[in-house]
Structure 1
Amino acid sequence: MASTSKSNSDLTGTRSQWLQDRALRSALWVARRLPYEQRVPLFGALARAAAGPGSVFRKRMLDNLDHVWPDRPIEDRQAIARAAADNAGRTLIEHYSMQELAERSASITPEGPGWDVLQAAQAAGRPTILITGHYGNHEMAFICLSGRGMSAGGLYRPMQNPYVNQHYVDAVDSLGRGPLFEQGRAGMGRLLRHLRGGGTAIILNDLYVGGGVEMDFLGRPARTALSSAEFALKLNAPLIPFYGIRQADGLNFRFVLEEPIPSGTPEEMTAGFNRSLEARILEDPGQWFWLHRRWKRKWQGGAGMVPGLHPAELPRQKSR
């Protein structure tokens, strides 16, 4: 696996970013002194507190929820926001507890028709694209596959804080789970070569992409990348939706691989994935990361700024 690591001396950032990183590292150090069964719920509770009343995180989640479900009782939307914050906090500390999470997940049996398709493709040396969203814990695919001697590459979007981004990537490297490709032209080229060599790729496809196309997601237009479907068509690779679904105890998971999305146009196949993810969100909305600005409008050159926009459509938080 190609390493993406740099030494801290190679990184440049602001003093504020450095201090944020120090605070996060300190919290992680303290948490990792605790048993796994205690540290994961602890980070869930810390995330709920960070997304408490008055926080920008809470406002963003409630704006998103109001945008897609305006008729849903406010008490329901608040409960979903709390559950989403809890899941995000648990997912964060699980990322920094890779070895222990892998040990706990060793007994998980992959489910669903996509599992047989993936195994057959890997045995034949054919490329496969696994597609998911920020639901439950999306890293379960890497962990479950690496535990079975199967490698999968991943495309990731670098964080704005370079110091946090570095140790976040280092935590991935520690598991040796497969090559990482940084989002961008160069990273996409390396991912394509990985697939052409018969590799498996894992792509998250539920973030705003300015260069994407507007597609319906939870009943509202959202700019969406078509690249996963385009790769699948170009390489004749199955496009398999998957989910690492957190269980009621908050610590264990199911790893579900659905039926591959039928071939069609890139728009049709991407819409098929959106419907798959929507079904999971409707089943358990607290497992999706409502923190992301999924429905913001396109802002290049001022495009998208029209009167009466909902706060969820704005590029940044504003008072209503």
Structure 2
Amino acid sequence: MTTQETVLPDGCAIDTVDIARIARLVAELPQDLDKLFSKQELDDAGYGVGRIASLAARFAAKEACLKLFPQEAALNIITAMDFSVRRDPYGAPHIVASQAADIVMGRYLVETIQISLTHSATAASAVALRVPKQIKSSAAGRFMFRWIPYRRKVILANLQRVYGGRVSEHQIRLLAQAHYGHLLTLLKELLSFRFMSASDKKNIVRVEGVDDLIRAFEAKKGILVLTGHFGNFEVSTVAGIEHFPQAKGHIHFLRRPIKPKWLSDFLTNRFNRAGFGVVGRRGSLEEIVDTLEKGDAIVFPFDQYARRPEGIPVEFFGYDAGTYKSMALIALSTGAPVMPASSWREPDGSHVLKFWPPIDVITAEEVGDEIRLNTRAYNRALEWLIMRHPEQWWWVHRRWKNSPEPSKLA
């Protein structure tokens, strides 16, 4: 459908579409328009004389966005439907990316895509520009990276898996330095948190998506909260629950004992005092199901390596990684929704705890396929959450333990 194309340097791409071809598509295959455009785009294009040109410009925008990520487009990781165009109240066009496109953009450290649309009587054109994500490393983070390289090889290897071939080695090192800065800040926050007043603790965290969580509680099917080691996960959860105290006693963390034992006991006691229950990772499946049948929530840290038989190899950022199959098994057997949740630190030092709408259940004829497909969906949700604030994820984990190198762009 594209009649002219030019790839520009420095993260730019342009696409030009013949308006007459879009006109023929609208006239001959109107039922296929939803395969190219979102409902919002079709509505925004209107039904007047400018509809065809508007749709042509939007299609050119989608194609220009795809040209920014040619390998992923060629592998069908992203398609034109992963990008849509919306106009703000002032009429300026903006790109809205799907979860899949967000993940791809994140792996190139792209914050957003700026778009410019034009059209003549016969053709519509779009220019797409990648806007890079700004990664800032602190002096303390750079010092720790250089002189106190705790698990530096693991961190760099993990970052290389996710970003290698997409960003420069300098950017990967900058991310590692930013992550060390995050670890130091996290430790400082944990130490100072216990000395804060109750009001200060509550005010340091903003909670978003509580309405989705409350609706899930009201359904009385129990809730599986899909999360990982994001931001300061200890502070944001302990302080965040003060914003919805009605949930105290009804949220239970699935936790694996950590070493040293005193630290594990310290964290467990802190969670208990805050109003959370704690279920051991090796606790019985019956205990977890009983908790869900009461209508309570189980918080499942899902970003750790899982060895067989508890884990199965499932794609995570393009590499097979040992992933717990129990969440999918429990969700499919109980009907409990799986809700993603994450936390992150804002530039001003405050924290955000956010709950996202439940992940759609994927059905298949074979139970094994259902478990694998839904587990992949959970990993994909984690990928998306990690890419939102990459320096604040727990890169020190050996998440891809025993995973071979892929034979193609991951």
1:74 is displaced (CA, Å) by 1.6
Q: Shift of the alpha carbon at 1:146?
A: 4.2
Distance 1:84 1:54, change over 3 A: closer
1:184 aligns with 2:278: no
Change in Cα spacing, 1:125 to 1:158, as seen in structure 2 (3 Å) is same
User: CA offset at residue 252 of structure 1?
Assistant: 0.9
Q: Give the alignment partner of residue 260 of structure 2, picking from 145, 161, 184.
A: 161
In the alignment, is the contact (CA less than 8 A) between 1:102 and 1:147 conserved in 2? no
Could you say which residue in structure 2 is the equivalent of 1:245? 344
| 8 Å CA contact retained: 1:240, 1:260 | yes
Q: CA RMSD in A?
A: 2.8
Identity of aligned residues (%): 25
Q: 2:334 aligns with which of 220, 230, 235?
A: 235
Deviations 1:102-159 (A, max 9, x none): 64453555334xx333202323543111111112133424532344211311011111
Partner letter of residue 129 of structure 1? L
Partner of 2:151: 57
**What is the number of residues matched between the two proteins?**
253
Counting only pairs closer than 5 Å after superposition, residues 67-86 of structure 1 correspond to structure 2 as 67-71=161-165, 72-86=167-181
Note if contact 2:141-2:179 (Cα within 8 Å) is conserved in structure 1: no
Counterparts of 1:170 and 1:54, CA distance in 2: 30
TM-score of the superposed pair, with normalisation by structure 2: 0.55
Q: Given residue 121 of structure 1, which amino acid in structure 2 is its aligned partner?
A: A
Q: Which residue of 2 aligns with 1:282?
A: 387
- Residue 120 (structure 1) aligned to one of 215, 229, 237: 215
Listed as ranges, the gaps of 5+ residues in structure 2 are 1-137, 363-369
Q: Identify the residue that residue 122 of structure 2 maps to in structure 1.
A: none
Runs of 4+ in 1 over 4 A off after TM superposition: 44-51
Matches within 5 A, 1:1-320: 49-53=143-147, 55-71=149-165, 72-96=167-191, 97=193, 100=196, 103-104=199-200, 106-107=202-203, 108-112=205-209, 115-139=210-234, 140-149=236-245, 150-151=247-248, 152-173=251-272, 175-186=273-284, 188-211=285-308, 212-249=311-348, 251-264=349-362, 265-297=370-402
Higher strand share: 2
8 Å Cα contact 1:60/1:291 also seen in 2 = yes
- Cα separation, partners in 2 of 1:171 and 1:189, compared to 1, 3 Å: same
* Cα displacement (A) at 1:166: 2.4
Note the residue ranges of structure 1 that are not aligned, 5 or more in a row: 1-43, 298-303, 310-320
- SS of structure 1 residue aligned to 2:380: helix
Q: TM-score, normalised by structure 1?
A: 0.69
CA pair 123-143 structure 1, distance change in 2 beyond 3 A: farther
- Name which one, 1 or 2, has greater alpha-carbon Rg: 2
Following TM superposition, by how much is the alpha carbon of 1:282 offset from its aligned partner in structure 2, in angstroms? 2.5
Pairwise CA distance, 1:160: 2.9
- For residues 318 and 154 of structure 2, what CA distance do their matches in structure 1 show? 18
